[in-house]
Structures are given as structure tokens and as C-alpha cells.
Amino acid sequence: MRTKETAKSLYLKQVFSKEDDILRSIRNHSEKENVSYMQISAYEGGIVHFLSKALQVKKVVEIGTLYGYSSLMIARALPEDGQLFTLDIEQKSQEKAKALMQEDPSAAKIHFLPGSALESLEKLKAEAPFDMIFIDADKGAYLDYLHWSNKYLKSGGLLVADNTFLFGAVYGEPEKEPSEKALSVMKQFNKEVATSGLYNSTLIPTAEGLTVGIKK
Ligand code: DHB
Ligand code: MG
């Protein structure tokens, strides 16, 4: 099973994971800081980019910036006048993200909002409704982020959430032990997206799990 999965990942990496110098420099920085496990992989970034492009989103919220890999993948899918508001508790990470992507013309579409996501989301109500919300931050807060999205995502808008397998824990094969809170929150998150009646949804079975929904 593991061998098969590795061959599959390698194939995806070889064929659908082209990274240019800027994306590579962001990945290198995450590796240097030992947080590359928290960063979206190249093919997952490709999926997020593809979805943003397919649904022609213009106004996006991203919860969890880290060093801006997915921010840039989304920003590149936006039209010239598109806007991405990206939130992260760590101001220093966002400063680094800005510096790493400054040469990219799409970086101009990104607004960096440092600090508590729940506080930033409160302020972002003024910009609603949004065409897309990408959730990739504190796993114990996914339900708060979902309930905000239920209100401020437009009809036809796209919900995307990373790590919704919670490292295997939601189906009983954890690769690392999550907190009890994160586990109950993630199970409830997926259940609500699937059954609330607010979304057409599925869970794309990437390595980490990518729950997606289109708001009805
Ligand atoms: C963690 C967070 C992520 O967003 C991710 O993709 C992988 C791991 C974490 O906090 O452990
Ligand atoms: Mg993630």
C-alpha cells in the first residue's frame, strides 16, 4: 500500500507539480524552517489553483498563510482586479511571504491580515460576500470558519478546506495523534459540509484530504 502510494505521489510530482523559481523559493524557505509538512504540496496547490480558475473566483478569503504558497497559487488564478485576503496569526510569516513573492505580479492582488483569524473575519464581514474561502489553519477552529463561510460565501461560491482527513484520524488510522477537540471538530466539519444542505460537496482524497463545497 505504502509503495503504491509513493509511486502515485512520485508520478503526480513528476507530471503535475511544475514549480517556478518563486514557488520553489517559498518551498525552500518552509523546508529551512522545518514547517514544510504544514505547507500544501505542489499538486494540492495545483488543485486549489484549478478550482479557483474553473469557478472564475474574484474575491477570496484564505485562512492560514504560512509562507504564501497557496496564497500565490490562488492569486495567480484571479483576474487582474481580483482580491485575496489572507489571514495568519503569525505576522512574521506573512512578512516573509510578502518578501518571497514580491517579484510576482499576482502578489499585488493579496491583502495580508495578521492576527487572530476570528478577529480578522469579523472585520471582513464588510467585504462580503466572497467567491471562495480556503481554510488551512487551526484545525480546532474549522467549525467556526465553516459557520462564518455559511454566512459570507455567496451562492455559487467555493468552500475548500485542507487537512480534512486530519492525518488519518477521522477514519481511525491516525499518523499522528490529534487533540480530542481537533478530532471531534473535524468529524463534525465534514459531516456538516456533507449534510447541512447548504453545499454540493465532496472530499477530494488527496494525501491530506481536501473537502470542497459549492454553496447552494
Ligand atoms: C498541520 C497543518 C497543516 O495545514 C497541514 O497541511 C499539515 C499539518 C499541522 O498543524 O500539524
Ligand atoms: Mg494544511
- Give the strand pairing for 83-88 and 110-114: parallel
Confidence of residue 9 (pLDDT cuts 50, 70, 90): confident
pLDDT per residue as tens digits for the range 159-183: 999 999 999 999 999 999 999 999 9
Confidence of residue 1 (pLDDT cuts 50, 70, 90): very low
Give the residue, by CA position, lying nearest to ligand 1 atom 9. 38
Farthest CA pair distance, the chain: 49
- Mean pLDDT (the chain, rounded): 96
Distance 92 CA to ligand 1 centre (A): 18
Distance 51 CA to ligand 1 centre (A): 21
* Surrounding residues of ion ligand 2, Cβ less than 5 A: 136, 162-163
Residue 105 has pLDDT above 50, yes or no: yes
Instruction: Specify the amino acid at residue 203.
Output: L
**pTM to 2 decimal places:** 0.97
Residue 38 has pLDDT above 60, yes or no: yes
Cβ 30 under 6 angstroms from ligand 1 = no
Domains of the chain: 2-215 (3.40.50.150)
For residue 106, the number of C-alpha atoms closer than 13 Å in the C-beta half-sphere is 20
Question: 14 or 133: which carries more pLDDT confidence?
Answer: 133
Residue 5's pLDDT is what?
72
Give the residue, by CA position, lying nearest to ligand 1 atom 3. 38
Distance 64 CA to ligand 1 centre (A): 10
Distance 175 CA to ligand 1 centre (A): 12
Q: What distance in Å separates the CA atoms of residue 116 and residue 205, rounded to the nearest whole number? A: 29
Q: What distance in Å separates the CA atoms of residue 78 and residue 132, rounded to the nearest whole number? A: 11
pLDDT per residue as tens digits for the range 63-83: 999 999 999 999 999 999 999
Distance 138 CA to ligand 2 centre (A): 9
- Euclidean distance between the first and the last CA atom of the chain, given in angstroms as a whole number: 37
pLDDT per residue as tens digits for the range 41-53: 999 999 999 999 9
Contact 154, 129 (CB under 8 A): yes
Cβ 37 under 6 angstroms from ligand 1 = yes
Q: Report which bound ligand comes closest to the CA of 166.
A: 1
By most ligand atoms within 8 Å of CB, the mutation choice from 39, 138, 163 for ligand 1 is 163
**High-pLDDT (> 70) share of the chain, %:** 98
Give the residue, by CA position, lying nearest to ligand 1 atom 8. 38
Q: Tell which residue, 205, 70, 58, has the closest CA to residue 135.
A: 70
Distance 7 CA to ligand 2 centre (A): 22
Q: What distance in Å separates the CA atoms of residue 206 and residue 99, rounded to the nearest whole number? A: 29
What is the position in ligand 1's atom list of the atom closest to the CA of 64?
Answer: 4
Burial class (CB in 10 A: 0-12, 13-18, 19+), 1: exposed
